[in-house]
Amino acid sequence: MRNSVILSILLLSLSLTSCKTTIPDRDSVVPTIYFQLTGSGLSTGDVEITETFDFDNQALYLERNKTYTVLLSGKDSGGVSHITWELPNNGIVEIPDPIPSPWTDGAGSIGTRLLQVEGNRSDPRSSILLGTKIIGRTLDTGGTENRDFVFTVKDYHDNTLNKTLRVIIGAGPTRIGPR
């Protein structure tokens, strides 16, 4: 219950910062991303990933069978046109609650699902948010899963940010560490 209240307050406060914006005539600035994870002994701010994260050398370690609250945001001052989050299917990364509208939940590539949202060109916003919960699972009881979260944020001038976060699910603890 406490996590739901915190998530609701966080989403409300962030949605108020999702300002209506104007799509500029020209734009060469790549959008940004923000991914926050809380739960399983983490304090707010313990796991915050942005576009400057060392995606090539660092990974997110999740403790299996623990529930985490996720906040994902794509941002661009000229408006966000599209965000996707490709993640392992529900057998590996379970999302226990329905995905909030206007986000959609569909099939990704083999063994993955794709959460996505489209911006509205007639009502452009500088950021689009998703708040949800995830539970990391492993196929073998004592095993480890090495999977990827793939994030894409695109603006109305086709400037695109693509980032792949290695996620390692196992015995724990939850942390950022070497790949």
Residue 53: domain span: 2-178
Q: Is the pLDDT of residue 13 over 50?
A: no
pTM, two decimal places: 0.88
pLDDT digit string, tens, across residues 87-129: 999 999 999 999 999 999 999 999 999 999 999 999 999 999 9
CATH at 57: 2.70.50.30
Residue 39 corresponds to which tokens in the numbers above? 């739960």
Domain tally for the chain?
1
How many Cβ atoms are within 10 Å of 179's Cβ, its own excluded? 11
Strand segments (E) across the chain: 32-39, 42-50, 58-63, 67-75, 80-88, 93-94, 104-107, 112-118, 127-136, 145-155, 160-170, 175-178
Distance (Å, whole) CA 77 – CA 163: 19
Q: For residues 79 and 178, what is the distance between their CA atoms, to the nearest angstrom? A: 34
Over 50: is that where the pLDDT of 16 sits?
A: no
